Structure 1
Amino acid sequence: MSVEVVMPKLGMAMKEGTVSIWNKQVGDRVGKGEPIASVSSEKIEIDVESPAEGTLLEIAVPEGEGVPPGAVICYIGHPGEKIAPVSDSVQTEEPTADESPVKETPVKSKQVKTGGDRVKISPVARKMAEAGGINISEIQGTGPGGRITKEDVQEAMKQSRVQKAEEKQMDTSVLESSEQAQEMKVSGIRKVIAGRMHDSLQQTAQLTMNMKVDVTELISLQKQTAETVQNRYENKLTVTDFIARAVVLSLQQHPHMNSAYINETIHLFKHVHLGMAVAIDKGLVVPVIRHSEKCSLIELSSSIKTLAQKARGGQLSSEEMQGSTFTISNLGSYGIEHFTPILNPPESGILGVGAVYDTPVFKGETIEKRSILPLSLTFDHRVLDGAPAAAFLQTVKQFLEEPVTMLL
């Protein structure tokens, strides 16, 4: 009997997984433990390994299609072997302890046309539709009782020809005006990111404000403590570490920034679960440092580096990328000074960090070379207004310009 390979459950909150790419095709030999496909959820992408040695008999879920956890995605067995029927147990899942059953609201039933014999259609019209490649379930019948007539099919075929002609003309005009481009199907993490960023801009009232911070003293403190930190903790404090610490301390003073807007209700969080955006080959992930307010500067630094390393190695669990209350996105290593970060819903704020640069600054009557750090704060205007958001950013600035206060 063939072996079923199912969609794994990548975290307690996962509702659907998507097959990003198939590494094997039907008829290919596979070894036990060999990666046969990559699947992704909203937060993570992993390889699915073959549970047995054999031949890939059938692919049940094509690339780019999403199915719930436990659904069969392919079958492995011996060539010509009978495929096992899908078990009823994988069709539905019992809610976990963290998931409350959703009570369905009764709705008034509405008759919907489906394919096959349920659609009212004359034999002549059916043959015409089959010959013309027309989906009869998409045709609105004008005959008695909604019956699809020959004329309805003829009109559908006419509309199909017009649409194909317009698409061909559009494709031709594009190719004539530019070189032919390589097409890449959007799937996996890239598809998730695209959807989330679009929804973020559509469903929130985002506003961004910028501020410059003098981090000359911070960089000096970083250099002074570098040897001690390395010898005692085998670690290296970075500017990002100090920024993360300043943000955590500031969020405790400005709780409205450490919040979420959910169902027309503002949720103020007692704990700071700090998200640190990390760029990977397939997109962007945001590992979360939970209860960051309980971490010292050294502990926060260690957590940031550990999670970033796991993110780049594809080793993050789904739980390590959930529950953030505020996010930091740093593009300073790319030489970017100012940018507009997009909120990570349902969070109310995200801080964009640019590259530190040196510039002459007046100090009284003299000019000094100072190191300047650009910050960009995007916040949800539904949760708080410009003044309290500016006050939060001002507090971050104060901590960074007086770095010793973060060590006390």
Structure 2
Amino acid sequence: MADIIVPELAESITEGTIAQWLKQPGDTVEKGEFIVELETDKVNVEVISEEAGVVSELLAAEGDTVQVGQVIAVVGAGSGASSSAPAAQSEAKEEVKAPEASKAAPVAEETSTEQDRTIASPAARKLAREKGINLSEISPVDPMGRVRVQDVSAHGSAKAPAKAAPAPAASAAKEDDGRTTREKMSRRRQTIASRLLEVRQNTAMLTTFNEIDMTNVMALRSRKKDQFFEENDVRLGFMSFFTKAVVAALKKYPYVNSQIDGTDIVKNNFFDIGIAVSTEGGLVVPIVRDADRKNFAEIEANIGELAKKARDNKLALSDMSGGSFTITNGGVFGSLMSTPILNGTQVGILGMHTIQKRPIAVGNEVEIRPMMYIALSYDHRVIDGKDSVGFLKTVKELLENPEDLLLNS
């Protein structure tokens, strides 16, 4: 017999949410095999079984909040068939006693007894309660007779209510008439919302803008991309150019690469650049470490690797901690202009946007050029207008003359 316990997640994380049970009662599990996926404030963690055996009990349902050190499941010895036999025998005994008990018990209690006797996963029981479905009425697909979430869902959609239910309250009626859909925020989305609000409330955030003529960097990328791919086995994108330009600008304006600690300003002498990545669970910001020491190919490879891990929900806490500055690219979604919100304790974040052809003055002529608006949101407690405008101007000048970036990389 072995307990499945919520492991230590990280120094600052004390709880998580059951995202998905990978095993159900009666399922066999090998030593070291994943049994449950936990969602934390930052990443998802898969918990393994320390012993081989059969899952005998789940002590928490999907969606429940659990604490570090809490027992959430029990794995016993034996096979699926042997473990289910005692349960079947106990059900048979209860069934013999049921008619006598039902003489004195009210109908509601009888229904509850049947519900309790049914073998079902915690998630299935929870969904059945929410839908008002009696588990004993469900015919499970599982040959062992276990009712799972999909059985409850199928039963609820296939079977119409036998009789009209009492009129629901006004708020419930509005939800059930199809005009609205209620969805619980994931733990990560709640954390993102809380931290963004905290940043807005606790910083003197201001945003300044500039625009970049992308003609030269696009032409350089077009000329070099095939050779770059052949030599490095990675594609040349715009993010490496922006990352290099940001590092150069941070060296010139070190207060933009700092943070506030009490009454002190801590200037970072390293350049760990966060690259915001959108995932189904929300925005995450993995870090390109020591970006000042990496060439274009190393930066592109690092960004590609981190983006894949983010999409596959495989980022570790170490991938996202300790960044000194962040770049976010709303342009991939077509954003023309935005005011990005600061990331954590950082005092600056650069927002990239979509490239759009616009008429601009070139000398005394008007030409159509591919232009991009860029935005720097910054904490005015640390950074003054001079540094913020100078920082953006440096990024602009370097990207409009990208050969300078290549020479300095």
Change (3 A) 1:172 1:406: same
1:295-323 per-residue CA deviation (whole Å, 9 max, x = no partner) reads 12222222111211222222222111110
Q: Match for residue 29 of structure 2?
A: 31
Structure 1 match to 2:67: 67
Which deviations, in whole Å up to 9, do the C-alpha atoms of 1:150-204 show, x marking residues without a partner? Answer: xxxxxxxxxxxxxxxxxx977369659x855332222332222122212222222
**TM-score normalised by structure 1 residue count:** 0.71
Determine the C-alpha separation between the residues in 2 that align with 1:170 and 1:255.
Answer: 58
Q: Rate the CA distance shift 1:298–1:362 in 2: closer, same or farther, 3 A.
A: same
The 1-side partners of 2:274 and 2:8 are apart by 23
SS at match of 2:318: helix
- TM-superposed CA distance for 1:9, in Å, is 3.0
Cα distance in 2 for residues equivalent to 1:173 and 1:206 = 42
- Name the SS for the 1:339 alignment partner: coil
State the match for 1:388 in structure 2.
387
Q: How far apart are 1:391 and its partner, in Å? A: 1.1
The separation in 2 between residues aligned to 1:345 and 1:243, in whole angstroms, is 21
Q: Which runs of 5+ in 1 are unaligned?
A: 82-167
Q: How far does the alpha carbon of each residue in 1:219-271 deviate from its partner, in whole angstroms, 9 at most, with x for none?
A: 11111111221221122211122111111111111110101122232111001
Is 2:402 aligned against 1:403?
yes
Q: How many Å apart are 1:74 and its aligned residue?
A: 2.5
Which has the higher mean CA deviation after the structures are superposed, 234-243 or 396-405?
234-243
Residue 277 (structure 1) aligns with:
276
| Matching of residues 58-207 of structure 1 within 5 Å | 58-59=58-59, 63-68=63-68, 70-77=69-76, 171=171, 179-207=178-206
- Separation of aligned partners in 2, 1:286 and 1:14: 17
Match of 2:296 in 1: 297
Flag the 1:183–1:53 CA change in 2: closer, same or farther, 3 A. farther
CA 1:393–1:28 in structure 2 vs 1: closer, same or farther (change >3 Å)?
Answer: farther
Moved more, 13-22 or 325-334: 13-22
Query: In the TM superposition, what is the alpha-carbon distance from 1:61 to its structure 2 partner?
Result: 7.7
Question: 1:315-372 CA distances to partner (integer Å, 9 max, x unpaired)?
Answer: 2221111100101111212111111211111000111111111122222232222110
- Tell me the number of residue pairs that the alignment of Structure 1 and Structure 2 aligns: 318
Alignment check: 8 A CA contact 2:360 2:369 kept: yes
The percentage of counterpart residues that share the same residue type is 29
Report the equivalent of 1:210.
209
The one-letter amino acid paired with 1:9 is E
Cα contact 2:18–2:61 (8 A) shared by 1: no
Distance (Å, rounded) in 1 between the aligned partners of 2:285 and 2:370: 28
SS of match in other structure, 1:293: helix
Secondary structure in 1 aligned to 2:370?
strand
Residue type of the partner of 2:206? L
Which ranges in structure 2 are unaligned for 5 or more consecutive residues?
78-82, 86-167
Change (3 A) 1:202 1:76: farther
Letter in 1 for 2:53: E
Question: 1:56 and 1:380, CA in 2 relative to 1: closer, same or farther beyond 3 A?
Answer: farther
Secondary structure of 2:377's partner? strand
**Alignment-derived partner of residue 255 in structure 2:** 256
User: What code does the residue aligned with 1:17 have?
Assistant: E
Between Structure 1 and Structure 2, the one with more helix by share is 2
Distance 2:61 2:259 in 1: 36
Residue in 1 aligned with 2:54? Answer: 54
For the aligned residue pairs, the C-alpha RMSD in angstroms reads 2.6
